[in-house]
Amino acid sequence: RAKLTWSIDEQAGTGLLDVLPQSAGKLNAIRFLMGRENFSLRDTVFAGDSGNDLDVLLSEIPAVLVANADPEIKARLSREKRAALYIASGGYLGMNGNYGAGILEGVAHFWPEVYAWLRES
């Protein structure tokens, strides 16, 4: 039994196919680490941009979909109305919401106290 996940490396213009055991994946790995390190949902934020991130993006774990995400993934997740999912759009502190800027935007969404700290920096 295997789990197949298709995604695209846009920078390289290459299609990617992840072949993993059915029980493997990012969601299982994050849940394992949360348990081992005693992290709660309040202590955890995930960021993703492609098909191999969907299991976490659709879970109860607070998650950020960065602005440069795969367009199909963006369209699919835009239809989902989940409190645990934030879709970065840019404009936060003058940044574009892509890559690390999207992560910072999402972290500030889930942890508003971070906003003041980032404004000071």
Taking the CA atoms of residue 97, residue 45, residue 115 and residue 83 in that order, the dihedral angle to the nearest 10 degrees is 80
pTM: 0.85
Length of the chain in terms of residues written: 121
Position 30 scores a pLDDT of: 97
Is the pLDDT assigned to residue 31 strictly greater than 80? Answer: yes
Contact criterion met (CB below 8 Å) for 98 and 64: no
Contact criterion met (CB below 8 Å) for 34 and 18: no
Rounded to the nearest integer, the mean pLDDT of the chain is: 92
Confidence band for 121, pLDDT divided at 50, 70 and 90? low
Position 23 scores a pLDDT of: 84
Over residues 106-111, the mean pLDDT reads: 96
**pLDDT, tens digit, for every residue of 38-82?**
999 999 999 999 888 999 999 999 999 999 998 989 999 999 888
User: Is the torsion defined by CA of 19, 75, 67, 8 positive or negative?
Assistant: positive
**pLDDT, tens digit, for every residue of 96-107?**
999 999 999 999
Position 3 scores a pLDDT of: 86
Is the pLDDT assigned to residue 10 strictly greater than 80? Answer: no
